Amino acid sequence: MTRPAHATRGRYAPPVPRRTLEVTSADGSRLHAEVHGPQGAPAIVLAHGWTCSTAFWAPVVRELSDAHKVVLYDQRGHGRSPAVPPAGYGTRHLADDLVAVLEQALEPGERAVVGGHSMGGMTIMAAAERPELRARAAAALLCSTGCADLPAECRVFPLPTPGGRRLAHRLLLGSGAPLGPITPVAKAALRYVTLGAGASAEQIEACARMVHACPPRVRARWGHVLYGLQLTRGVSRLELPTAVLAGTADRLTPFVHARRLASVLPQCAGLTALPGLGHMTPVEDPDTVAGRLRELVRDHLATAPAPESQRPTPQRQKSQQDQQDQKKKEEAA
């Protein structure tokens, strides 16, 4: 597939990955994935949200990739991951895809901090009960996301009743109409829906390029999934330290969702409020997002017990002792 159009310079330009790979999900769907940063460094795996792509994480990757191995992937139908048949859109498929990335992009026995924005956060919640996530993830970060009742809480259309908001936001989420060219009017509308009032022209441009590059049918099919989203059970079963972060001016997933997540998570690792920021928090404040990921690596990945396959056994310990004894003999000689 051709590379989608993105911002081409500065902090929001996608950095060149160290390597790319094609991940195969449970149903055979192919996913584009990228690995940034040094091999052997602590690993972070990031999942983007609805209508975005790996490019969404560009400023966060630039903050982290000097000392972390950062794995990104395009959700199915987004970026360079091909679209799938209509039956291939659902929260089960989100979980399948994340598990496939963890298994195929990480080294055997390697663990990671996982982070997700919006639909990417929902991906982590959908995979909460998967043994592969529990084996591979040391901690998680949920950015600007929710687990249920998205249409009723959404504030894009400030209607007075939940029923009116549901209808209006069903039309918004399920629309398959082409977005057309990126005009000043289109940028103004996008800023209103997805960003805070203080968003820079560069941030608006980067987000517009991603959202307009998403195929309309893919946007609509995932929109239908989001409209009926119900992942409260998944949140309550997410048995790993999980931090929550959201902007207080988020219209798509208002801050009430962040509070709800923090109250339901079994091991909430803190709730961070970003005053005045909108839905695109990793674009609007990549320093804070990267900082929370660093803290999760420091507090939970570096101190996490090694997987059973890497733990010392009597045989490994004897082999290591034999090697040390042989080295001492060589030095004495």
DSSP for 229-293? -B-HHHHHT--S-EEEEEETT-SSS-HHHHHHHHHH-TTEEEEEEETT--S-HHHH-HHHHHHHH
What are the C-alpha distances in Å from 109 to residues 8, 15, 306, 307, 308?
36, 27, 8, 6, 8
State whether residue 116 is helix, strand or coil: strand
pLDDT given at position 172: 60
As separate numbers, helices (DSSP H) first and strands (DSSP E) second, the chain gives: 14, 8
Residues of the chain with pLDDT below 50 are 1-5, 7, 304-324, 327-333
pLDDT given at position 217: 94
Query: What is d(CA 196, CA 228) in angstroms, rounded to the nearest whole number?
Result: 26
Examine residue 232 and state whether it is found in any structural domain, yes or no.
Answer: yes
Smallest Cα–Cα separation from 112: which of 130, 135, 93? 135
Examine residue 330 and state whether it is found in any structural domain, yes or no.
Answer: no
pLDDT given at position 164: 59
pLDDT given at position 162: 61
- Strands 69-73 and 30-36 come out as antiparallel
Query: What is d(CA 146, CA 308) in angstroms, rounded to the nearest whole number?
Result: 33
Is 132:106 a contact under the CB 8 Å cutoff? no
State whether residue 89 is helix, strand or coil: coil
Give me the domain span that covers residue 43: 10-304
Examine residue 190 and state whether it is found in any structural domain, yes or no.
Answer: yes
User: What percent helix, strand, coil does the chain show, rounded to 5?
Assistant: 45, 15, 40
Examine residue 316 and state whether it is found in any structural domain, yes or no.
Answer: no
pLDDT given at position 175: 66
Examine residue 329 and state whether it is found in any structural domain, yes or no.
Answer: no
Smallest Cα–Cα separation from 146: which of 117, 110, 172, 171? 117
pLDDT given at position 327: 42
Q: What are phi and psi of 36, to 5 degrees?
A: -115, 155
Q: What are phi and psi of 304, to 5 degrees?
A: -70, 145
Examine residue 19 and state whether it is found in any structural domain, yes or no.
Answer: yes
Is 249:145 a contact under the CB 8 Å cutoff? no
CATH number (domain holding residue 230)? 3.40.50.1820
Examine residue 245 and state whether it is found in any structural domain, yes or no.
Answer: yes
Q: Which amino acid makes up residue 120?
A: G
Q: Is 37 left (phi over 0), alpha (psi -120 to 50) or beta?
A: left
Structurally, the chain folds into a number of domains equal to 1
State whether residue 126 is helix, strand or coil: helix
State whether residue 21 is helix, strand or coil: strand
The C-alpha R_g of the chain, in whole angstroms, comes to 21
Question: Which of the 8 DSSP states describes residue 86?
Answer: G
Examine residue 223 and state whether it is found in any structural domain, yes or no.
Answer: yes
> 233-290, pLDDT tens digit by residue?
999 999 999 999 999 999 999 999 999 999 999 999 999 999 999 999 999 999 999 9
**The token pair that represents 61 in the structure block:** 């990757």
